Amino acid sequence: MSMAITLNNGFKMPIVGLGVWRMEGKSIKDLLTTAIKIGYRHFDCAADYRNETEVGEAFKEAFQTGLVKREDIFVTTKLWNSDHGHVLEACKDSMQKLQLDYLDLYLVHFPVATKHTGVGTTDSALDENGELEIDTTISLETTWHAMEELVSLGLVRSIGISNYDIFLTRDCLAYSKVKPAVNQIETHPYFQRESLVKFCQKHGICVTAHTPIGGAAANTEWFGSVSCLDDPVIKGLAEKYKKTAAQVVLKWGIQRNTVVIPKSSKVERLKENFEVGDFELTKEDMELVKSVDRKHRTNVPAKFWGVDLFA
Question: Could you give phi then psi for residue 17, rounded to 5 degrees?
Answer: -125, 175
Catalytic residue among 40, 49, 164, 190: 49
Task: State the first-to-last Cα distance of the chain, in angstroms, to the nearest integer.
Answer: 38
3-class DSSP state of 274: helix
3-state secondary structure of 103: strand
- Residue list, annotated binding site: 109
d(CA 163, CA 110): 6
- 12-14 vs 4-6, strand pairing mode: antiparallel
Binding site members for substrate: 109
164 is catalytic: no
Query: Of 147, 204, 273, 264, which is closest to residue 5 (Cα–Cα)?
Result: 204
Q: Which helix or strand (DSSP H or E) is residue 151 part of? A: helix 140-152
* SS3 of residue 15 by DSSP: coil
DSSP secondary structure letters along 68-88: S-GGG-EEEEEE-GGGTT-HH
Q: How far is CA 217 from CA 64, 209, 220, 242, 302, in A?
A: 35, 17, 5, 23, 19
User: What CA–CA distance (Å, rounded) separates 42 from 75?
Assistant: 6
Length of the chain: 311
Question: Which residues does the annotation mark as catalytic?
Answer: 49
